[in-house]
Structure 1
Amino acid sequence: MYQIMSPSAFDDALKERLSLFIKKVAPDVTVSSYEEWGGTEITGPTLMVQWEDAHPGGIQNDGRYQHSQMLTAHCIVPRAHPNAQLLAMDMAYEVERLLFHRRLWIDGQTLLIDPEVVGIPDIQLNGDTSFLIGLAGVAARGVQWQQPLSFGPSLIEPSDLLKWSYSVQEVGDA
């Protein structure tokens, strides 16, 4: 299970999981941060994660403050690559599919993140982002989503009644 307590921990885990799965669509893909694009030469399929605006969220049940973070995964392919536009679309659709119902964070039957920390993503769009990248000679498709994130430890201890109901449920399930 990933211990996600900060934006940087989520970013590391997100790029690791995206890299693992996106290679099924683009085996030679490079996964990096959008902030690195000026210093990165795009020579093959590339996925860049961009952190955009964060919007205030509500207080969670356990007292944590939530941010609704806007993220974009830019899927970039040099136009010299065969079927560049279609490969960029293939990558973007795979990212979107992985975000749907948290498939990115599931290993077998195990959810690898704390659902109190990392909420269910809300996909906003899947579209052409080549104009945002500002690089000539590439096809780019971006998947943008709102990601609820509630960092830090729980601020509320479970009540004795809640603890009791969990223990009764566990005994009943045995």
Structure 2
Amino acid sequence: MRKVMDGQRTHQHEGELVVFVLGMTINKPWRVDRWMPVFAAMPKMLEELSADPESGLLGHRLGIGPGGPISVQYWSSTEKLFDYASDREALHRPAWAAFNRGAMKTPGAVGIWHETYVVEQAESAYVNTPVTGLSEATSSVPVGRGKERARDRLKQLRPAQL
């Protein structure tokens, strides 16, 4: 069991931050032959990325959304994200090709979607919880005096814009 961090905490990060959200939609649950390979590919890719500190992946978490699995990933730059997606030596390219071949054989059995956000400002709050999410991907710090509210934490980032 992970250690619960008492009190209120936030994340701390300098530099570019990219949030990449990726999901799989299981449209035909009985077509396990189509969605299981897609489902099995993601943990392998995340393991590959996590093993390489230069990959650009800062951290990630997996969950289940309304249509199937979802991955929230934190990246150090869009360039590193795009580099991984197009790397012919990495696991992503063959997994993507296999998905496309399967999708052509059984249209609509499984879907893939993603969203990419380049984050100009980020605010976070974690209260009495293990280090998780953005604070796990970057660094977790106690909320200091004058930063108790989300509005206050964002003002400290960019006072002229708020």
Query: One fold, TM greater than 0.5?
Result: no
- TM-score, structure 2 length as denominator? 0.33
- TM-score, structure 1 length as denominator? 0.32
> Larger RCO: Structure 1 or Structure 2 (Cα < 8 Å, ≥ 6 residues apart)?
2
